[in-house]
């Protein structure tokens, strides 16, 4: 019984962490729950988890709700999912640092689109801060996911 519970918690940890990061939104440290994009990317591309793609679309919809955007995060996720599926040059699952360079490209493009859609010094500063902070939090969160999923 105890082993079954531990196995269930290990399998469900990425899903629960994603929801938790989305719900723990704070204006400065986690605006709109943006840290949830880390497990979405990691568990979809770098270390694929069964059924996480469908769940990721749902959480991207929740991010769109928090950011008051119309299908922006869903479109970015689906675009990157399609690019990753059609290309054969870069294998994110075998990248160093848990796919951090690919995440920086994915998240950087999304932040640039948001900054240039409403170009001002405030949006530029907020975009730079979000990019630096989320990329700095990528390794600790992905290492936590890996640690919880393995024995």
pLDDT digit string (tens) for 9-44? 999 999 999 999 999 999 888 999 999 999 999 999
Q: How confident is the model at residue 1 (pLDDT cuts 50, 70, 90)?
A: confident
| Cβ contact 99:46 at 8 Å | yes
Q: Which pTM was predicted?
A: 0.93
Question: What confidence tens digit (pLDDT) does each residue in 84-112 have?
Answer: 888 778 888 888 899 999 999 999 999 99
Q: What is the mean pLDDT of the chain?
A: 93
Residue 88: count other Cβ atoms within 10 Å of its Cβ.
6
Distance CA 139, CA 142 (A): 5
Least Cα distance to 149 among 13, 39, 47 occurs for 13
Predicted confidence (pLDDT) at residue 68 exceeds the cutoff of 80: yes
Distance CA 44, CA 23 (A): 20
Q: Measured on CA atoms in the order 47, 43, 141, 113, is the torsion positive or negative?
A: positive
Q: Which residue has 């990425």 as its token pair? A: 14
- The shares of helix, strand and coil residues in the chain, as percent rounded to the nearest 5, are 80, 0, 15
Distance CA 56, CA 36 (A): 9
């Amino acid at each position: 019984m105890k082993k079954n519970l531990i196995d269930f918690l290990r399998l469900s940890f990425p899903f629960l962490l994603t929801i938790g990061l989305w719900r723990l939104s704070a204006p400065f440290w986690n605006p709109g729950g943006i840290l949830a994009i880390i497990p979405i990317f990691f568990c979809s591309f770098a270390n694929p988890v069964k059924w996480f793609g469908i769940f990721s679309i749902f959480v991207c919809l929740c991010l769109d709700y928090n950011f008051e955007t119309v299908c922006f995060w869903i479109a970015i996720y689906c675009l990157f999912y399609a690019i990753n599926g059609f290309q054969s040059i870069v294998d994110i699952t075998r990248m160093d640092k848990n796919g951090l360079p690919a995440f920086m490209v994915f998240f950087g493009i999304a932040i640039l689109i948001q900054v240039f859609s409403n170009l001002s010094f405030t949006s530029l500063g907020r975009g730079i801060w979000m990019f630096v902070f989320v990329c700095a939090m990528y390794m600790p969160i992905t290492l936590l996911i890996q640690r919880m999923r393995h024995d």
